[in-house]
A and B are shown apart, each in its own frame.
Chain A
Amino acid sequence: MTSPNSPSGRKPTAFRLDDRKVRMTDDDDRAPAAGEALITQAFMEEEEPRLPRAVSTPKPGFRFGKWLMVGLSGLVSLAVGLAIDSLIRDLFARTDWLGWTGVALAAIAALGLLGLALREIAALLRLNRIDHLRDQLQEAADADDAKAATAGLKELIGLYQDRPETAQGRKALSGHMREIIDGSDLVKLAERDLLSPLDLEARRIVMNSAKRVSLVTAVSPRALVDLLAVLFENLRTIRRLSALYGGRPGTLGFLRLAKHVLTHLAVTGGMAAGDSLASQVLGQGLAARLSARLGEGVINGLLTARIGIAAISVCRPVPFISGNGPTVSEFMGELVSSAKENEDKKTD
């Protein structure tokens, strides 16, 4: 019977896998022999799910800056409207409440200023705490001191108390801390249980920003545009990484963080010269395969990745004990392939 049910007219069929005429293969392009059935099994997607984006976006806090602006502009408009201070005094003489309004606005401005300062201080303290924590954990791991490690990890758990996406890791870590485990192993467990989802996300952030930079460099018409884009992208990456690892820097804190990253780069820069990477990038290996413009883009991307890596080691509250942390060569493969893909798209 012909029916509208199946337009292609394909009938249900089944193939026994132990049949001689049925073969399993991983090769997509192979054609089956006559009378034979060729089966290609689909892959199960096993990718680790991403953390929500909100984790790495700095949260908009209470706007003390706004208060300051409200207060100041209020005062200014008052001053303009009443022709400066003497008029205010006149107003006080005439109508009390207007005068008090001026006073109140001034108070608000003062409050805003105070809030801003407090928040900056808190952010700086938090960054200090992270630096301190990293040193403490490094020492504990080096000395294999379980007591110091436990103290440090307790502080670490406290740092992430307000981060619901770390709940599972914190619980696992508290469980480990009740058992008898050596100091350096404890720190390693903390890296694995608590920080690995964050590390994965940090790697993605750096990878994506490196890709963006390499793309912008490859297509931008002017060097100045590149420069601005790269600067902006790098600053944003540092900010996001810091937020991800629990730093939440304010303005001053951010400046200090950027300085740290730069120092870190300078310190490790010398080492990088000996890195096989430099020879790979600059050698014909890569240059021969990419057009000049694209090569430039890839190199800019790699520099961004370097800055990102430096930022990771500055922001991460635990030193890299079990591994060495991300390296530039890890980013290079993907960067080059994505750059080539873009080039292919352009030439198509």
Chain B
Amino acid sequence: MNALEVRLNTFNKLTEETRLTLANLADAAGDLTVPSVRLGVTGLARSGKTVFLTALVHNLVHGGRLPVFSAASGHRMTSARLKPQPDDTVPRFDYEAHVDALVKDRVWPESTRQVSELRLTIDYESASYFYRKLGPGRLHVDLIDYPGEWLLDLPLLNKSYAQFSAEALQRARAQNRSEIAGPFLKAAEGADPDSEESEPVAQDLAARFKAYLTACRADTHALSMLPPGRFLMPGDLDGSPALTFAPLDVVADAPAARTGTLRAMMERRYEAYKTHVVRPFFRNHFARLDRQIVLVDVLHALNAGPHAITDLEIALSEVLSAFRPGRRSWLSSILTRRIDKILFAATKADHLHSTDHDKLEAILKRLVNRAEERARFKGAEVDALAMAAVRATREATVKHKGEELPAILGTPLPGETLNDDAYDGDTEIAMFPGDLPENPELIFAQAESNCEDARPSFQIAQSELQFLRFRPPELDKTAEGLTLSLPHIRLDRALEFLIGDRLA
């Protein structure tokens, strides 16, 4: 990297910061009339962001059971309703369709393909005398939904092409991935970075790279650390040069690439990807958050085995390093927004009996350990919990063959199998998913010791723990035919932590 580039980078950073500050100033001016909270829902693909948002809005709007959320349980919240969102260029989060899918058809929403936004306005009365006298309380909560795959791009912002290549290839050659990455690795090793640039070669490499990333994501492997994210969920840029690149075998600290070589071409496209895809995404949706909830699907990774767990840990700590936690102060909230409260949530806790929730929480804490310490150090408030935004199961105890098993009752999704028994999506079952370990370190220790194990990791896990996916619950109706709000686990605690203090 030459001196000019370094200077350009610093310049880019400066303009970036200026833009952010301006946007924050505009927000702060808007907040003078009605305060708003930008709630960032962060989670890798399939961690349940869309379901979380839908359940949150549904429970607030329909007055669901939220005993721990003091504004609602203290009868201080007078109404919560949907309002037109502030950004006119972002699609609206299709809340009604998602609710319909959950309640009527009892299916989970499809995976998100684009960014969408929603504004929820809450009317409340403050518990403090002083604030009540200042006028009626009102708070806008801005919610954003986006494909979780794209989150993996954020760490790329600080990486050069050479760094990206080295890391991507190192991961692909790792023992647990080399088999899946075979075709891509062969092509990548065959391509000479210093040869003349050629579109077909680039396309072939990119296609193989994409195929390898997609295969890693399948249920049997459930790996998470798969940047760049647009390769998995391309959005509207599919096929453009910015999405047609792949890592190459570049020698570390090699001199700058000559123009016209394959390497120079890839490098240019990688930079274009960063400038035109990643940076706007980050700037528009993540750089200006007030509160953040990080959803982690621990159970999905546990299902696939120890490698998936370590991969998840790496992905989370890389992604979370892109955010800006910190204490909120009067001045800082005008110029630079900082995330002053972060909640880590292990989602889908309804797939377990409540006796295991504490263990799930312990595993989650171990997973996000690094990010949590960083946030605390910077002065943000941090909490972790096991939750289910929509509770698909009920709890039960099964007595069988002299054993008493803590079980859950629910209807598995069609196609889910356990012990070679496939379910059709209509049968209700009582299920015992296995015991989570008391000590979360055991799971991580296993990941290290299993590196030499030749068997695919999912087979090892299968015998100990198995979590099935369940269909959304059937909702009871009241005598008047009204549908009750969606049941949940600890959604109220999450809400209290995230926005409770703004409604105090």
Contact = CB atoms under 8 A, between A and B. Distances in A.
Interface of A: 1, 3-8, 10-18, 22, 31-32, 35-42, 44, 46, 49, 51-52, 54, 162, 164-171, 197
A18 B74 CA distance: 42
Interface stretch (B219-227, B266-274, B318-326, B431-439): B431-439
Given A38-B400, A39-B397, A42-B397, A10 B75 contact: no
**Most B CB within 10 A of own CB, among A35, A42, A44, A51:** A42
B70 interface: yes
Nearest to A32: B399
A46 B61 CA distance: 20
Contacts of B132: 162, 164
Nearest to A17: B428
B62 to A, nearest CB: 13
B429 A14 contact: yes
B82 interface: no
Contact of B76 (A18, A35, A42, A168): A168
A198 to B, nearest CB: 10
A6 B437 contact: yes
A34 B429 CA distance: 20
A130 to B, nearest CB: 20
Most chain B CB neighbours (cut-off 10 Å) among A22, A37, A46: A37
Contacts of B466: 12
Interface in B123-152: 124-127, 129, 132
B428 A1 contact: no
B70 A17 contact: no
B464 A3 contact: yes
B295 interface: no
B434 A10 contact: yes
Contacts of B407: 15, 39
Contacts of A12: 418-419, 431-434, 464-466
B396 A42 contact: yes
Nearest to B437: A5
Interface of B: 65, 67, 70, 73-79, 124-127, 129, 132, 394-401, 403, 405, 407, 409, 418-419, 421, 427-435, 437-438, 442-443, 446, 460, 463-466, 468, 487
B427 A17 contact: yes
A139 B466 CA distance: 66
A197 B468 CA distance: 41
B74 A165 contact: yes
Contacts of B464: 3, 5-6, 11-12
Given A6-B465, A13-B419, A14-B418, A49 B431 contact: no
A94 B180 CA distance: 101
B131 to A, nearest CB: 9
Nearest to A193: B75
A42 B435 CA distance: 19
A129 to B, nearest CB: 20
Contacts of B73: 49
B419 A14 contact: yes
Nearest to B462: A12
B437 A164 contact: no
Nearest to A43: B395
Nearest to A42: B395
Contact of A164 (B126, B397, B428): B126
9 contacts: A6-B435, A7-B438, A12-B434, A13-B400, A13-B405, A16-B427, A38-B399, A39-B430, A165-B127
B430 A167 contact: no
A10 B78 contact: no
A165 B395 contact: no
Closest 7 CB pairs of A and B: A49-B67, A164-B125, A42-B395, A12-B466, A168-B75, A37-B400, A167-B125
A1 B460 CA distance: 8
B418 A167 contact: no
A37 B465 CA distance: 20
B400 A171 contact: no
Contacts of A41: 394-396, 409
A13 B435 CA distance: 11
A10 B466 CA distance: 12
B69 to A, nearest CB: 9
Given A52-B74, A162-B129, A164-B74, 18 more contacts: A5-B442, A10-B405, A12-B418, A12-B434, A13-B419, A13-B431, A14-B429, A14-B431, A15-B431, A22-B430, A36-B400, A37-B398, A39-B396, A41-B409, A42-B396, A42-B397, A167-B76, A167-B78
Given A6-B464, A12-B431, A14-B431, A38 B78 contact: no
A7 B400 contact: no
Contacts of B129: 162
Contacts of B465: 5-6, 12
Contacts of A165: 74-76, 127
A4 B437 contact: yes
Contact of A167 (B75, B405, B431): B75
